Amino acid sequence: MRGSQVSGGKVYLVGAGPGDPGLLTLKGREVLSRADVVVYDYLANEELLRWAPPTAQRIYVGKKGGDHTVSQEDLNRLLVEKGRENLVVRLKGGDPFVFGRGGEEAQMLAGAGIPFEVVPGVTAAVAVPAYAGIPLSHRDYTASMAFVTGHERDDKEDSKIEWAKLSTAVGTLVFFMGVKNLPEICRRLVENGRPSTTPVAAIRWGTLPEQQTVTGTLDDIVEKVRQAQLKPPAILIVGEVVRLREELNWFERRPLFGRTVLVTRAREQASDFKTRLEELGACCIEFPTIDIRPPASWEPLDQAIGTLAEYDWVMFTSVNGVHYFMERLWTAGLDARALGKARLAAIGPRTADALRANGLRPDLVPREYRAESILEGLSSVGVKGKSFLIPRALVARDVLPETLRREGARVNVVPAYETVLPSDRRTQVLDAFRARRIHCVTFTSSSTVSNFFQLCPREEVLPWMKEVDIACIGPITAETAREYGLRTNIMPGEYTIGALTEAILAHYR
């Protein structure tokens, strides 16, 4: 057994929330971090799987519109089988016990003698209306609410819904999985006394950047949903509180809502960029075109570190260069004192911040990453006869070291890391291009551009990319994009991720 149990196994029925990965509970995340096996369904955001250990087995048991990857009976048997010897996390969309069949799965586990716990989740009944600007209760509108299934068991002819009582006794009604049966739901409510003018909201993919909301009344919502081509998964809100949406709709009014941005940055560096874009409302598709790895040999960098006293300047061109340089410095049993007389240059504010995080103060941060700007910054101390160490990527542009050499400097360029093509994820990206879903493609270095076209066939994607906005972090990256036939129409004045985010925001505003 690989889990944390002393003997035997255990199953956790964990509510994954309604879609937004930020709505997973702290306990849900903690349990997921210890899982041996993760069993997840169609409505559980796959981003949550990043909290599971890399060694955990991941099993998809999605159910989508009657298309069952695994039947409920087989799923129950799977949980029992895996739960005997493993710590199993059953990730279920929303809350396990709110129309999630969690009760049935718990019964099966109890009957088989498998220990289990239930970790409640944020139910879609509460979260989705909130993200659509609809409070379920309000002192001026209603003091009661009910959650109702819009899709009862197919093998039962009698309905468990008391329509005659439900229609007029409860102020706000929330129907799960109700789009397919929307005409029947509206007819039943009106027949049993609910005014046909009652406001209704149908919300698809609630809490996600793809959220789509259609509003109307019991009298016209069926036609409006048909015209909008709104399909499951969606929930319905019936009640006077729907009128508040016009005033309280915060989520869909964010400036980048409805825009899909392709993020090509390395995964370990993309999180802040992606998070900021999503906070502004964008739907981000991660397509890392770079993986950062240690070089094949540390020998050149270790030798340079061993002779630091010979250098006048150590010049860092990226956060990664700082990270691996400091890692090898510590591995050699050294610290900042080994830098001796050497001054430090950081090409960009983020690289400067990385130095400061290691207790080092950069002596030079040029205005922009251009050879001319760097030479201007060095003019007061001179370049001729000075010795420069540049720990950087194994493969990178040689403009900077060549410029320094022409000015009479001695330059030693050593590989501190290398950038490689990541595992292929192009199918998702090509599908998004074909469906005309992508509005903006971001490039944060020349290598993200060249690697993108190594991963995606140029002749296929270039026509699509000419229809979208191309955002480049700076002129060097934009020049590489131009060489591949792309026209950059979003570029910040300051060549940083923060400035690129603001430039994208300004463009769409």
Looking up tokens 């995340």 gives 29
DSSP string, 244-265: GHHHH--STTSTTTT-EEEE-S
Instruction: Mention every residue, 6+ apart, whose C-beta is less than 8 A from residue 142.
Output: 171, 172, 239, 240, 241
Residue 229's region, left for phi above 0, alpha for psi from -120 to 50, else beta, is left
Sign of CA dihedral 276, 277, 283, 289: negative
Per the CB < 8 A criterion, the answer to whether 181 and 160 are in contact is no
Report CA-CA distances (Å) from 396 to 195, 204, 346.
68, 45, 16
CA distance 460 to 431: 12
Nearest to 447 by CA among 467, 485, 473: 473
- E strands, 278-356, where? 283-286, 291-293, 313-316, 343-346
Catalytic residue among 10, 20, 36, 41: 41
Residues facing residue 364 across a β-bridge? 345
172 within 8 A of 197, measured Cβ to Cβ: no
Sequence-distant (≥ 6) Cβ neighbours of residue 12 within 8 angstroms: 31, 35, 87, 88, 89, 90, 116, 117, 118, 119
Q: Which of 27, 63, 180, 224 is catalytic?
A: 63
Chain position carrying tokens 């130095």: 355
Residue with tokens 């409006």: 224
- Residue whose entry in the numeric block shows the structure tokens 């991963």: 455
**1 has catalytic annotation:** no
Answer yes or no: are the C-beta atoms of 358 and 383 closer than 8 Å.
no
**Quick check: is 41 catalytic?**
yes
Lookup: tokens for 446 = 């020349």
d(Cα 401, Cα 445) in Å, to the nearest integer?
18
Catalytic residue among 36, 92, 108, 177: 177
* End-to-end CA separation in angstroms for the chain: 54
Catalytic status, residue 180: no
Look at the chain and count its residues.
509
Q: Which residues are catalytic?
A: 41, 63, 177
